[in-house]
């Protein structure tokens, strides 16, 4: 596999780092919401927020790098419908990687809590506390998270199908090593 058949190294690194952080944020979000109120639960909420803000920043960097780089071409044997589905899934993932953390950030603001990144500095608040909006944004954050989970599962299954069934190199072009 040549360099032109692979994504640029910065995109590969960002892809896997963001993927790990999304899994961690999802797992932490799942655990923390089922906990009784305690100092540990409150700390998990802080960690979850920190992950979300970090993901948001890294996704912004990733989008900029992606806009100024060229993606490797799809395999010739890949059908048009698969190319269109892959493009749609990638667009949806980018939208969700922005929408999920932003909806959580706005939910936190509407709930009247600050986001203090890494416990060091408070991020700006764009929404005043609003109990009704808080509920709506919480529901939106959960919905978007579940949609993202579904799209990520499809993304992983498609990559595995290309690797093990089609053996067309799609997965290898995003792997850290070939």
Tokens representing 117 are 């990144």
Tokens representing 136 are 């709506």
Per-residue pLDDT of the chain (178 residues; tens, 9 = 90+): 676 789 999 999 999 999 999 999 999 999 999 999 999 999 999 999 999 999 999 999 999 999 998 899 999 999 999 999 999 999 999 999 999 999 999 999 999 999 999 999 999 999 999 999 999 999 999 999 999 999 999 999 999 999 999 999 999 999 998 6
**How confident is the model at residue 64, as a pLDDT?**
95
pTM: 0.94
**How confident is the model at residue 177, as a pLDDT?**
84
Tokens representing 34 are 């089922």
Burial of residue 75 (CB within 10 Å: 0-12, 13-18, 19+) is middle
């Amino acid at each position: 596999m040549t360099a032109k058949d692979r994504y640029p190294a910065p995109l590969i690194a960002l892809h896997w780092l963001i993927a790990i952080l999304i899994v961690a944020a999802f797992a932490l979000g799942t655990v923390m919401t089922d906990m009784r109120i305690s100092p540990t639960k409150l700390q998990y909420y802080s960690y979850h927020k920190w992950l979300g803000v970090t993901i948001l920043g890294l996704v912004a960097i990733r989008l900029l790098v992606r806009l100024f780089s060229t993606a490797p071409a799809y395999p010739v044997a890949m059908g048009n419908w698969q190319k269109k589905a892959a493009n749609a899934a990638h667009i949806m993932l980018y939208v969700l990687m922005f929408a999920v953390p932003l909806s959580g950030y706005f939910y936190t603001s509407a709930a009247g809590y600050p986001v203090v990144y890494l416990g060091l500095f408070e991020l700006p608040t764009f929404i005043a506390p609003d109990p009704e909006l808080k509920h709506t944004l919480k529901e939106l954050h959960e919905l978007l998270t579940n949609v993202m989970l579904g799209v990520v599962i499809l993304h992983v299954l498609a990559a595995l199908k290309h690797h093990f069934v089609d053996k067309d190199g799609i997965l290898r072009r995003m792997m850290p090593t070939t």
